[in-house]
Chains A and B, each alone.
Chain A
Amino acid sequence: MSVADYAAAQGLHRVGARPPLWNYLKQTWERRDFTVAMARFRIQAEQQRNRLGMLWLVLQPSLNALVYGTIFGLLQAGSRPDGWAAYVVIGVFLFQYFSSSLNDGARSITGNRALVQSLAFPRITLPISVVLENLMALLPMLAVMVTAVLVMGYPPSWEWLLMVPLLALYTLFNTGIALIAARLTVHVRDLTQVLPFVNRMLFYTSGVLFAVDKILASYPWLVRLYDFHPLYQVLQIARGLLMHRGEYSLHYWLYFALWSVVTFVVGLLFFWVAEERYGRE
C-alpha cells in the first residue's frame, strides 16, 4: 500500500489539489460576499485620503474626456463626428472600463501575493472582484454620460434600457480579459511593463475619439476589419442606443455577444487550469 492509498483509506485528501471545474465554480459562488466586499472596500479605501473622496470617481474620467475632447476636437475640425461631446464621453468612459479591468486584472494575483500565500480560497475571486470594482466605478460615470447625451440634445428613449444587457455582455468580456491577463502575468511578470502600451494602442485604434468610417475612408478593407473589433462594437452600440444614430448594424450585437461568451469561457478555463500554480513565486 502506497502512502497515497493509505491516506485515501483514512479519508485524507491531497492538499491544494485543483478542484474539478464544477466544484471550483461552486466554491467561487460561496465566496461571493467576500468578492463583493473586497471590491466595495477597495474603492472606499482608495478614495479615503482624498479630500473630495468619492467625487474623484467621476471627476477624474470627466477631466480625461475634457482634455481628449478638446485636443482631438480641434485637430479633427471638419471630420469631427456629430454630437462630439457625447461621442467622446461615451468612448472614453466605456473604454476606461476595459483598460482598467485589463490593468488591474493583470496585477490581481501578483499584486496580492501575501493574500494568496496566506489564505485558501478560489483564486478566481481576485480577478473577478477587480472587474466588479471597475464596474462599480463605472456606475456614477454613467450618470455623467447620460447628462452629456442630454445636454447635446438627444432626448431619452426606451432604447436606453438596452444599455443594461450591453454592459452585462461587456462585463463578461472584461472578466475573460482580466482572467487571461492575471494568469499570463504570473508566468511572465514583464507583461505589466508592456500593458500600458497595449492599452494606449487599443485606445487609439478602437474608435474612441474618431469616426472610423470617416478617418479611414481611403482604406475600405481596414474599415471592414472594424466590423470584428469587439471594443469598437461596444462603443458603436452604446452610441447607437444613446444618440439614436442608428449607425451600428444589428450584427454587432450578435458578434459582441459571441466575443463576450467565448472570451469569458476561454479566460475561465485558462485561469482554472493553473490554479495550483498561483502563489508559488
Chain B
Amino acid sequence: MAESEQVTAVAAEHGRPVVIVDQLHVKYRIFAGGRRARGRASRSGLFTLGGRGVRTVHALKGVSFTAYANESIGVIGHNGSGKSTLMRAITGLTPPAAGAVYATTRPNLLGVGAALLPDLSGENNIVLGGLALGFSKGEVTGLRDEIVEFAELQDAIELPMRTYSSGMQARLKFAIATAKHHEILIVDEALSVGDRQFRERSEARIREIRADAGTIFLVSHSMKSIRDTCDRVLWIHRGKLRMDGPTEKVVQAYEKSRTAGR
C-alpha cells in the first residue's frame, strides 16, 4: 500500500505516466544443446522424452519503474545483463513470466529489418516495411520519397537489397522505421550504424521524435550518445535494476564500476 501511495506522489511531480513496469520477470526456456543438462536444469515431462533437458534462463528478475511522458531514458548495462530482453518485454513481444507492463499505447521497437526481404528492391522493401509498421498503402506511397532521401539511396533504390552494403541497409531500415510517428519508441543501439554523417542525422531525427511529444528508450553502450540524448538512465545488472536516476549520476557510477574491474 505504502508503495503505491509513493507511486501516486511521484506521478504528481512528473506528470502523466506512459509506461509502468511492475515486478517484471522474464524467463527463457532453452533446449540444452550437446551434452545433457543435469542437476540444476529444470525439466518438464514432455520435453525430456528424447533425453534432452530444458534449461531455464532467468533473464529479468523483478524489474520495476515508471516512465513519464516526454522523458528520454537511457538503458545501460553489460552484455547479457537483460537490457534487450527488458525492451522486448516492454513492447509486449516477449511475454513476461510474472509481473506486467502497462502502457498508454503499445511501445514500438525501432526495428523493421526483420520484415524486409533481401531479394527485393529497396523500393519494394519500403512498401513492405511501411505496411509492416501499420501504414496504409496510400501513406506508404506518400512517404516513399522522404524515406529514399533520408536514406540517401536515390541511385540504388531499384536494386535488390542484398546488393547493398551493410551501411546502406542500416540506413534504409532506420529511415523506414522512423518514418512512423511513435508515441513510445525504443531504440536499440541504432545510433551506431552508418558513417559519421549519417549518425549525426539519425541522432537529430531521434531528437525530432522526442520533441514530437514522444517518450524514448535508448539502449546503448556508447556513454556519449546516452549523455547527448537522455535525461534519465536505467542501469540493468544481471537481470535487476541496479540504479535509476539522472543521467550524469548513473553513468558516473556505471563507469566507476567498470574501471574498478567489476
Which chain A residues have a beta carbon within 8 Å of chain B's beta carbons? 1-4, 6-8, 10-17, 30-31, 33-34, 37-38, 41-42, 44-46, 48-49, 112, 114-121, 276-277, 279-281
Contacts and interface: CB of A to CB of B under 8 A. Distances in A.
21 contacts: A2-B4, A4-B22, A4-B102, A6-B20, A8-B102, A12-B17, A14-B102, A15-B91, A16-B95, A31-B134, A34-B128, A34-B132, A37-B131, A44-B124, A45-B119, A114-B114, A115-B115, A116-B93, A118-B115, A120-B108, A277-B95
Query: 7 tightest A-B contacts by CB?
Result: A16-B92, A7-B102, A114-B114, A15-B92, A45-B119, A12-B102, A34-B131
Contacts of A116: 93
Contact of A12 (B7, B20, B28, B108): B20
Contacts of A277: 95
Given A7-B20, A12-B20, A115-B115, 4 more contacts: A4-B102, A6-B4, A14-B101, A114-B113
Nearest to B107: A15
A12 B18 contact: yes
Nearest to B88: A117
Nearest to B22: A3
A15 B114 contact: no
B187 interface: no
B127 to A, nearest CB: 6
B53 to A, nearest CB: 15
A118 B128 contact: no
A26 to B, nearest CB: 13
Contacts of A12: 17-20, 102-104
Contact of B117 (A42, A119, A280): A42
> Chain A CB within 10 Å — which of B7, B108, B132 has the most?
B132
B106 interface: yes
A1 B4 contact: yes
A3 B100 CA distance: 9
A15 B106 contact: yes
A137 B127 CA distance: 21
Interface residues of B, number: 48
B180 to A, nearest CB: 11
Contacts, number: 132
A91 to B, nearest CB: 32
Contacts of A11: 104
B114 A117 contact: yes
B132 A119 contact: yes
A122 to B, nearest CB: 11
Nearest to A116: B93
Nearest to B92: A16
A44 B115 contact: no
Contacts of B131: 31, 33-34, 37-38
Interface string B117-145: 11110001001100111101100000000
Contacts of B113: 114, 118
A49 B102 contact: no
B62 interface: no
Contacts of B18: 12
Contacts of A1: 1, 4, 8
